[in-house]
Amino acid sequence: DAKTTQPTSMDCAEGRAANLPCNHSTISGNEYVYWYRQIHSQGPQYIIHGLKNNETNEMASLIITEDRKSSTLILPHATLRDTAVYYCIVRSFTGTASKLTFGTGTRLQVTL
């Protein structure tokens, strides 16, 4: 799976949009970009995933650049409950292998 690079930490004011970047310059054509988050030792929580088109769900939006070498997770109106470690994961499907390979992630702190 391609390696990802994320900022170690970010701050965001409550009510503002949180934009979390991820670099995955070695991504290949059959690899998807997934985002998970982990709130203080709880089980990681799925947020969103995409291949090349931008995606939106009730939690967030995912913007993938045209060359697919980077992406941005957008939380439109961050709340204190969004404080967590956010993981950008590139995931390929080669037959039976579909594990998640977690990197170091971005620690997002949402403040009042």
Binding site for another protein (CB under 8 A): 32, 34, 38, 41-46, 49, 87, 93, 95-105
Considering the complex, state which of residue 14 and residue 102 has its C-beta at the smaller distance from another protein: 102
Nearest to 49 by CA among 67, 41, 37: 37
The distance of closest approach from Cβ of residue 71 to another protein in the complex, given in angstroms and rounded to an integer, is 16
Cα first-last separation, the chain = 37
Per-residue burial over 81-109, b if 16 or more Cβ lie within 10 Å, else e, is ebbbbbbbbbbbeeeeeeeeeeeebbbbe
Considering the complex, state which of residue 23 and residue 91 has its C-beta at the smaller distance from another protein: 91
The distance of closest approach from Cβ of residue 22 to another protein in the complex, given in angstroms and rounded to an integer, is 15
The distance of closest approach from Cβ of residue 112 to another protein in the complex, given in angstroms and rounded to an integer, is 27
Considering the complex, state which of residue 16 and residue 99 has its C-beta at the smaller distance from another protein: 99
Question: What is residue 46's three-state secondary structure?
Answer: strand
